[in-house]
Structure 1
């Protein structure tokens, strides 16, 4: 492997001692250009003395002999991030919503690194960026997402041999220490007690608008996500065996009724079949009869794509948008004088709490909800079962007191 050490730009010619202050450099053969067949060379200068230049050249020659040499590029973070996003989306089954999140997170890193060369971004620079995001008030969860995206970008750069070192390798997200009260508030989401749920459903039945009662009845009795509910089609219902198949979810970030997408569920575990009560089956049957009459009346003006929760007024047949479900729930909570901070997702937590109260195991609940591992669901379950343990303790004490 050829190479040599020299003084770059030395003007002293052949004098015994250099006085022009030129720096030392090296040039090393690093292979053959596949297009021209000519040798490729790596030159690096700026060394203070001959020993430094020789040491650097020796390191390079060793990396070449071991096959570990990486020729870093001058590509900027911004340019590489643009290349990474389609690679990321094509290599996995990534949903449009996830792509939007990744774009948002890249946007948070751009002010720090946009025009910097990837190879020049150090571990300290990356950690300082994460720390600054905390100073700006971004939540732990948001910063964790930003860090996750940053890690994926730099690891792909490392994999593609664009850089030698990953600046995210030892990065961490700083967290504030929280009090026990704060932890309890955050970890146990709000949900409806069974009496509150009964009141909410009565309110939906008596004062609800188009489809309200059926929507919230199904959400409450199945624990499915609102996106999964809106995407349901009649072919997903097995009236004979009382099951609902969850095979897709609804995506429509702009809430434009016509411009929706049906995408795969959140995770592989989210594809599932749920056994439902006869109450749900009967309510669905009644709705189907009403829907058939509307379809018969409108004929070709009805957007007939088999959706269960389809609009019955204007743009007939299109699936209702998630925003509508959220607005309808807020209206009904106000009418029932219930906690207006609750959302359709709160009915999922409500379903968890009531199953736990009915002594259904955590494993069965996770399977029904389509979870592999979800800390919030576990926290709801543990909270409810802890209250049940207190009840058991009280009953035991009452029993012992009756024996005195």
Structure 2
């Protein structure tokens, strides 16, 4: 059965589709190249409007662990330490390269900033999205050690309960019922804090172990009901994000993914898209999906670097201006499309560096 699952998942178009959708959502979040002060009056509406796209990072984590579970299944005879060393090294290479590049850009952009740059690195803020790599580095040894337990449904529900308890405690602390010091501590750490993300290790492994059951459920659900599920989840995410804005006094970071609806969104996305097959998608769109999927990690990293560069440039050029909601929305949509088009033409540049991390995610060496 597992051998059949390996063969199916090796060429699974729905995973490519989920990665392509998620990376497009990630790029959209990082595509406003003007300082927030220039659209302060519209920032709240922008945050609410794009809240449903926060499925992107949870889905990325889930896919990463699903594919890692597949790779571990294939290399089950390998000894633990060499396997951990190999995969940790392959993930560490892009982490150090892209992090080092971002540090160099910040040092060139502003002198005498060494201490704050170190803090930015540790908090995963040296460039947008860097925290993802730090979280993966934390979870990789944990996942490899415990992977035989991660994919069991019983253990998934236990881990889910613990994750829900953590999120509940964060909400209660933000309400200042108790634990205000906890909130200060969490804000000082930022998004790389493991407690926000540990469920997705088990979710990815569980989806891999039960892929045919998931596929059966997805095939059983009518398209119209899937649309209803996606729209309902989007509304729930908007409502919860709006509530989170209230309880945090509009200081949501770093809790924007510590939402119950983010967990729901990852599950719903897999349920709705896992049964989609390649022949159901128009050929030109299929080619784009495969490109975005193949280079998703490279796009993720280089998008963060370019976002940092363009934001620094935009801060100098547009300071003092005031954009309306419609203007900043147009800027965001145009910038997002330009970023995606530019990335498709520049894949050769980033493949040489990100191929090692793509190996970690896909389980096979990309072509150079």
TM range (shorter): under 0.3
Q: Name the one with the larger helix percent.
A: 2
Q: Which has the higher contact order (CA 8 A, sep 6+)?
A: 2
TM-score, normalised on structure 1? Answer: 0.19
TM-score, normalised on structure 2? Answer: 0.21
Structure with max Cα Rg: 1
Q: Name the one with the larger strand percent.
A: 1
